[in-house]
A = this chain, B = another copy of it.
Amino acid sequence: MEEKEISKAVIRRLPRYYRYLGELIESGVERISSSELSSRMKVTASQIRQDLNNFGGFGQQGYGYNVKFLYSEIAKILGLDKKHNVIIIGAGNLGHAIANYVAFEKRGFIMTALFDINPERIGKKIRDIEVLPLSELEAYIKENEVDIATLTIPKTAAKEVAERLVNCGVKAIWNFAHTDLNLPEDVLVENVHLSESLMRLSYNITSVEKSREEQK
* Prevailing SS type, chain A contact patch: helix
- How many copies the complex holds: the figure is 2
- Asked if A96 lies at the interface with its beta carbon under 8 angstroms from chain B, I say yes
- Asked if A129 lies at the interface with its beta carbon under 8 angstroms from chain B, I say no
A207: chain B residues within 8 A (beta carbon): 3
- Asked if A139 lies at the interface with its beta carbon under 8 angstroms from chain B, I say no
- Asked if A12 lies at the interface with its beta carbon under 8 angstroms from chain B, I say yes
Q: Could you list 27 A-B pairs, sorted by A, with CB under 8 Å?
A: A3-B207, A3-B210, A11-B200, A11-B203, A15-B195, A15-B199, A18-B199, A19-B179, A41-B180, A42-B182, A78-B203, A79-B203, A79-B206, A80-B199, A82-B206, A93-B94, A96-B97, A101-B194, A103-B178, A104-B195, A171-B205, A171-B208, A172-B201, A172-B204, A188-B201, A192-B194, A192-B197
Beta-carbon contact of A190 and B198 below 8 Å: yes
- Asked if A58 lies at the interface with its beta carbon under 8 angstroms from chain B, I say no
A206: chain B residues within 8 A (beta carbon): 77-79, 82
Considering the complex, which residues of chain A in the window 92-112 have a beta carbon less than 8 Å from any beta carbon of chain B?
Answer: 92-94, 96-98, 100-101, 103-104, 107-109
- Asked if A148 lies at the interface with its beta carbon under 8 angstroms from chain B, I say yes
Residue of B nearest to A81 (CB): B206
Known: A19-B178, A174-B198. 13 other contacts (CB 8 A): A1-B214, A12-B200, A15-B200, A16-B193, A78-B202, A78-B206, A79-B203, A94-B97, A104-B198, A107-B198, A108-B202, A188-B204, A192-B192
- Asked if A84 lies at the interface with its beta carbon under 8 angstroms from chain B, I say yes
- Asked if A14 lies at the interface with its beta carbon under 8 angstroms from chain B, I say yes
- Asked if A143 lies at the interface with its beta carbon under 8 angstroms from chain B, I say no
Q: Of B18, B172, B178, B197, which one neighbours A205 at CB under 8 angstroms?
A: B172
- Asked if A120 lies at the interface with its beta carbon under 8 angstroms from chain B, I say no
